[in-house]
Amino acid sequence: MIFNPTGSFSLRKGFRKVISCDFCGYNEFFNIAERADGMQVLECVRCGLAFLGQLPNSDLLSSYMKKTISRKKIKQK
C-alpha cells in the first residue's frame, strides 16, 4: 500500500513527517509495517530505503546530543 506522507496521521511531540526519501529524494513510499507502538515503517518506492514515517525534529535531536555530550564529559572526569 502506498503511504501518503501529506495525509493526516498523529505526529508525535518533537517529531517531523518524512516527506521525501533521505537517500534519493523520492516522495512515494510503501507502508510495509506498523510497529507495536503505532509508528509506520515505510519503504521508498524508487530505491528501497526503509525508515520510520516520522523522525525527531532538529530541536529534539539537539537536545539528545546535548544530553549525550554532557554524559560523556561526566564519565571522563
Q: Does 50 bind Zn ion (CB under 5 A)?
A: no
Exactly one of 3, 18, 21, 54 binds Zn ion (CB under 5 A); which one?
21
Q: How many whole angstroms separate alpha carbon 41 and alpha carbon 22? A: 14
Q: Give 5 or 14: the residue with its C-beta nearer to Zn ion.
A: 5
Exactly one of 47, 52, 65, 69 binds Zn ion (CB under 5 A); which one?
47
Residues forming contacts to Zn ion in the complex (CB under 5 A) are 21, 23-24, 26, 44, 46-47, 49
